[in-house]
Copies of this chain bind each other. A is one copy, B any other.
Amino acid sequence: MIVRAEPLTAAAFAPFGDVLEAAGPHDKLINEGLCGRWHDRAALDFGSGRAGISIFRAEPRALPYVCALLERHPEGSQAFLPLFEAPFLVIVAPDAGGAPGTPRAFLTAPGQGVNLHRGTWHGVLTPLSPPGLFAVVDRIGEGANLEEHRLDQPFTVEP
């Protein structure tokens, strides 16, 4: 199966999570007018855990990209904030009875991060260029918070 990478927009991504970006008018102007604040843009949910900030560094991948594994975190949301200005690939899928349904792939624009809602099926972190460095806001806490699903039929993401 071929999945075409779509541009990441808040509307298209809404079933899966939040797009974190300075889009539309700011909510507040601070610092004597020199800084806009787009306020509280992620639906964070850490269940019985708490928020933490970690740093991830992932190997850059390339398109076409073959995806054979999806995962989800049943206990919490997970935000990926790129510490660089290049697009990265976000693969997600709706749930279909406890397994991933038809996958979709999104290509970010510079300045866009994402927050995956709790329990959203997604591919592993796939930057497309170095340094592949992200700040990640996710759940710190006890208990298993990772469910993996290996696909019988891998799919290929194309531009």
Contact = CB atoms under 8 A, between A and B. Distances in A.
Interface residues of A, number: 47
A78 to B, nearest CB: 11
B31 A58 contact: yes
A20 B53 contact: yes
Interface of A: 20-22, 26, 30-32, 34-42, 44, 46, 50-59, 69, 79, 81-85, 110-111, 113, 115, 124-125, 131, 133, 135-137, 140
Interface of A, secondary structure class, is strand
Contacts of A55: 20-22, 37-38, 41
Contacts of A137: 51, 53, 137
